[in-house]
Amino acid sequence: MYYKFGEIKNKIISFNGFEFKVSAMKKHDGISIQVKDMNNIPLKSFHVVDLSELYIAMDAMHDVVNEWIKGNTDDYDRLINLVMRW
């Protein structure tokens, strides 16, 4: 297999101009996914075993990240992110 059991893969994602960390780990009973802010504070964890659960988890991740953005940014932060997309 390509990924080893217990191996953690990390990636920085950008969502509406804000960055977050995503980790995924292969387990014997599925994969574990965790979303963190850039200060390594966990926002949400998921355990998925198939593609349909992954889609559900991804929708939930979007909701969690949107809530984080609403609670931790102001209008000026969002304006700066729009400028940075140019």
Over the stretch 46-66, which tens digit does the pLDDT of each residue have? Answer: 999 999 999 999 999 999 999
pLDDT tens for 13-23 read 999 889 999 99
Say how far apart CA 12 and CA 23 lie, in whole Å: 9
Say how far apart CA 72 and CA 41 lie, in whole Å: 13
For the chain, helix, strand, coil in percent to 5 are: 35, 35, 25
Hey, where are the domains in the chain? 8-84
Burial class (CB in 10 A: 0-12, 13-18, 19+), 35: buried
pTM of the model: 0.86
